[in-house]
Structure 1
């Protein structure tokens, strides 16, 4: 999730946090007992070490557990990081009917295959992971590379990921495993959060059966 602000900005925030903590600790120490001579140098080094420890501990907490998702849901976070973690319900609209009807007239007018699906997103400051399964449990997919970014002009947040799909009992036109990619855009519809965008796969590509379509998901729990 740190990609939203970028690593340089994250490092700057970390650095300035250490400086601010060190200054605060030195100031509090000076109120209790004013250092003499080299005591100031020792106080500064000690405060810097404490500041680094506190800032690192904060990053560690945000990088694991449920603290980071909770922060994303609070109004004081000002929407810097989107509230992605949680359960999402929706559907996959695949072009498979059009592939199977290749050569026929009006292929472009054939309805897409709609398959209800659910997704679970886990997110913290350092990582984002998404698991997806169709309601018929025909296949399950899990991301192995995920990136989140915000458009500097429009402010839109997008999730781009690569995933591996596993099909335990594939049909004759399918394969047991394949890889795919997707780019979903986050938007708000009233109080709901929606992820929607195109996906594509290398499914049975050697047979010309690689598919594509549109994924659309709505967050189960409303944003705080």
Structure 2
């Protein structure tokens, strides 16, 4: 998780641990004054490193994370299963493509027509698994009933201007074992920006893809995920 937090937050966490170690060293009388700390810098660095090693075990990391109540001032733990739905703008893109090819009659003006009466596709049901550790963050998402899946390539955890936790990530989707249509690709890149609700149970936001972007057919839409299982304690 450290690698996906803001740089300032990561530095603050490591600096806080170093200060605690230095304070303990001074209190025990092992060194005398700041000059003594400088002389023992190598040993203190080794101590800090040894203290960090257990954090590479995910269970220990999450245990300590909760013990120091880091969820309150750093970022909530998102680990666990999430389920929700995707609502894509693909029906709009598909209709404009069909009209341009003479397969449907026009006119169609998405800027001025009443899209509330538009024939939208049903939402796509998805299941996501989020896993995080001291230095890693991984989110895998599958479209229910298909072999389509996506995996995060990069992620960033921060907060909005109002202080709400926010997840922003880049992913690659794989459409394996499918008959790929001319308007699709075997894999494509995408990004999303999701905000966590106040109760920590819902991630809600938008996503964008580069699917067939060279033909102007890339898509975007809304993504909502609801927590199914709370992270293990």
User: In structure 2, the residue corresponding to 1:149 is in which secondary structure?
Assistant: strand
User: In structure 2, the residue corresponding to 1:79 is in which secondary structure?
Assistant: helix
Correspondence 1:98 to 2:106 = no
Correspondence 1:55 to 2:65 = no
Answer whether contact 2:166 2:194 (CA < 8 A) is retained: yes
Correspondence 1:148 to 2:157 = yes
Post-superposition offset of 1:15: 2.3
Q: Which of 76, 79, 84 does residue 78 from structure 2 map onto?
A: 84
When residues 113 and 200 of structure 1 are mapped into structure 2, their CA distance, relative to the original with a 3 A threshold, is: farther
Unaligned runs of 5+ in 2: 100-105
When residues 57 and 154 of structure 1 are mapped into structure 2, their CA distance, relative to the original with a 3 A threshold, is: farther
The residue that corresponds to 2:186 in the other structure is 176
Q: Which of 160, 178, 185 does residue 195 from structure 2 map onto?
A: 185
Unaligned runs of 5+ in 1: none
* 1:105-144 matches, cutoff 5 A: 105=108, 106=113, 108-109=115-116, 110=118, 111=120, 113-144=122-153
The residue that corresponds to 1:7 in the other structure is 10
User: In structure 2, the residue corresponding to 1:164 is in which secondary structure?
Assistant: strand
CA deviations 1:165-205 (Å, max 9, x no partner) are 1001143121101000001111134xx52111100000011
Q: Distance in 1 between matches of 2:174 and 2:129?
A: 16
**TM-score, structure 1 normalization:** 0.79
Q: Distance in 2 between matches of 1:75 and 1:60?
A: 17
Q: Distance in 2 between matches of 1:88 and 1:70?
A: 21
When residues 67 and 220 of structure 1 are mapped into structure 2, their CA distance, relative to the original with a 3 A threshold, is: farther
User: In structure 2, the residue corresponding to 1:84 is in which secondary structure?
Assistant: coil
Post-superposition offset of 1:59: 2.4
Q: Which of 162, 168, 189 does residue 160 from structure 1 map onto?
A: 168
**TM-score, structure 2 normalization:** 0.76
When residues 120 and 112 of structure 1 are mapped into structure 2, their CA distance, relative to the original with a 3 A threshold, is: same
CA RMSD of superposed structures (Å): 2.9
The residue that corresponds to 1:202 in the other structure is 210
